[in-house]
Amino acid sequence: MLEARVSAWEDVQRAKYIARFKREEAKIEAWESLQCAEADAELRKLEVKLEKMRFEGREKILRRLTASKNRAQEMLSSAEAHKSEQLTRLEMRANQIRKSGHIPSSTFNVMCSLTTKIKPSSNSPFK
């Protein structure tokens, strides 16, 4: 009879421990599930933030590229205007020289030095 009571007590205690373990196991699984859900939410939040940063970075680079293209166009326009101005001045000066028949001395000296022949020296084999 004692053996039956001990055996019954042992079965009851075993059932309590198993039930307690199952409750604890369920709590642990719920905690793990919550941690996974929080990690997934944080990961999605970081992905959204990263995509936003990527978009903003791309927009910033495109704005800088557009500004560079605009600046280059301005520089080209300025250079073209300067060239046109210089050519207009050159044409006006050439017309003035044609009318007056007088070539400025600095221009004349450059032209003369280009057209004069170099006289060979006495030691030169080219006589």
Q: What is residue 109's predicted lDDT score, i.e. its pLDDT?
A: 57
Query: Is residue 106, in this structure, part of any structural domain at all?
Result: no
Q: How many CA atoms lie within 13 A of 100 on its CB side?
A: 9
If you average pLDDT over every residue of the chain, what do you get?
Answer: 89
Task: Report if residue 117 sits inside a domain.
Answer: no
Angle at 23 between CA 10 and CA 5, to 5 degrees: 10
User: What mean pLDDT is predicted for residues 14-40?
Assistant: 98
> Residue 52: which domain range?
17-96
Total domains, the chain: 1
> Is 50 part of any domain?
yes
| SS3 assignment, position 5 | helix
Q: In one letter, which amino acid is 11?
A: D
Query: Tell me, what's the pLDDT at 102?
Result: 87
Does residue 75 belong to any structural domain of this protein? yes
Q: Choose the weakest-confidence range: 6-15, 69-78, 100-109.
A: 100-109
| Domain presence at residue 116 | no
Assess if residue 65 is contained within a domain. yes
DSSP 103: -
The verdict on residue 36 lying in a domain is: yes
Nearest Cα to Cα of residue 102 among 94, 110, 92: 94
- Cα–Cα distance for residue pair 107/115, rounded to 1 Å: 13
pLDDT digits (tens, 9 = 90+) for 32-88: 999 999 999 999 999 999 999 999 999 999 999 999 999 999 999 999 999 999 999
pLDDT (mean) for 12-26: 97
Per the CB < 8 A criterion, the answer to whether 70 and 77 are in contact is: no
Assigned domain for 67 exists: yes
Euclidean distance between the first and final Cα of the chain, in Å? 149
